[in-house]
Structure 1
Amino acid sequence: MNIANKLTFLRVTLVFVFMALIWWIPGNMELNLWLALAVFIFASFTDFLDGYLARKLNLITNLGKFMDPLADKCLVTVAMLALVDVGDQWLNFKWPAWILAIILLREFAVSGMRLIAVTKNVVVSANIWGKAKTVVQMVMIIVCLCPIQSYFMGTLGLFLTYLALVLTIVSGVIYIWENKEVFKD
């Protein structure tokens, strides 16, 4: 297993560390949130790093193509679930569950399309819209997860949440539109 794939598997492991800090380790929730935030930032950095190393060192593998987006989706989904769960108690605003529902529906739709594409030997590569969506989602999670209570952080978090929602919808529509041939029999 190459270094890029090891970083991807580290990110998957960090999802469970993040979950433990939010839901399973009792004690000072504010401290747990800071630690969870640090874990999320580090895990997000591994996403950048594994992609960079895979391209730079020509370490692109089928395992990496499968696991990297899966690891990203696990990390982002668990973090958004945490925002919905603890947002009203510990963060700057209650994070709306309906936004998570829309984001998950998009992820399922695009993943389903990719599965259909694989059966037709078509590779659906990430595009700039999907990458922008992922970056904005990760930045939004960092801002929203930060336990600094302030009007500025709450407003910034809310703005980034709706920006992430718009990019999620737009990127999903673009993926499906650009790959509509996959649905033809």
Structure 2
Amino acid sequence: MNLPNRLTLARICLIPFIIFIPLVPFFNNVVLFGDVKLNTQFTLENLIVLIIFVVGAFTDFLDGYIARKHHLITDFGKFMDPLADKLLVLAALIVLLERGRMEAFGFSLGFVVTLILAREFMVTGIRLIAASDHLVIAASKLGKFKTISQMALIIILLLNGYPFTLLGSLAQDIVSLTLIVLAGGLTIISGVDYFWKNKDIILKNK
């Protein structure tokens, strides 16, 4: 197994830690800075999950870069790399949803997580159909932009809005709403694009 594929598997191995850390109350009870009453606290849980997520996101960039530069692109990588991205992002989004971070201006925007889940299940289904015909569908540019927007959203929410929180709750809500809408919008657009480009595969197996 080449290095890019090992990095992809390493990214998948990080996912259980993102889920496990929030289950331990100790990590959430240690406030590093911020105000608990204003819900601007940054906890040890935030820090650990943020580090794990950033490392995972970096391996996403690194494995693709190495694979392209050294001509190490494989069918395994084409299939598993976007799947690893999905699992990493969804694990973090579910944690943020459970912590009540998927909101802005007092309104819950958790439905965006459902939207992202639905899109990823649809895309994975199409990939499995293609795989049954011995076809491997690589990630599209729109799909990559979608992933970047989701990762940016997750990083800001894991930071609990910092540094925008320092400008006040209004700035924090505006940034959260903008990033959530951007991630949700790109999720829909990239999903429609993916479906349209691969409609022949779907119709063939209808």
TM-score, structure 2 normalization: 0.80
Fraction of identical pairs, as percent? 41
2 CA distance for matches of 1:114 and 1:180? Answer: 12
Q: For residues 74-93 of structure 1, what are the structure 2 equivalents within 5 Å?
A: 74-88=87-101
Q: How far off is 1:25 after superposition? A: 5.8
2:65 corresponds to 1:52: yes
Q: For residues 19-168 of structure 1, what are the structure 2 equivalents within 5 Å?
A: 19-24=19-24, 26-27=26-27, 28=30, 30-88=43-101, 96-147=109-160, 148=162, 149=165, 150-151=168-169, 152-168=171-187
1:18–1:40 CA contact under 8 A, matched in 2: yes
The worse-fitting range, judged by mean Cα deviation, of 79-88 and 92-101 is: 92-101
Q: Secondary structure at the match of 1:87?
A: coil
2 CA distance for matches of 1:37 and 1:92? Answer: 24
The worse-fitting range, judged by mean Cα deviation, of 32-41 and 75-84 is: 32-41
Q: Secondary structure at the match of 1:184?
A: helix
Q: 1:136-157: CA deviations, max 9, x gaps?
A: 0000110111134452333212
Q: Higher strand share goes to which structure?
A: 2
TM-score, structure 1 normalization: 0.89
Amino acid at match of 2:71: N
Q: How far off is 1:51 after superposition? A: 0.7
1 CA distance for matches of 2:46 and 2:151? Answer: 16
2 CA distance for matches of 1:32 and 1:101? Answer: 24
1:136–1:160 CA contact under 8 A, matched in 2: yes
2:153–2:183 CA contact under 8 A, matched in 1: yes
Q: How far off is 1:32 after superposition? A: 1.3
The match for 2:196 is 177
Q: Secondary structure at the match of 2:172?
A: helix
Q: Higher helix share goes to which structure?
A: 1
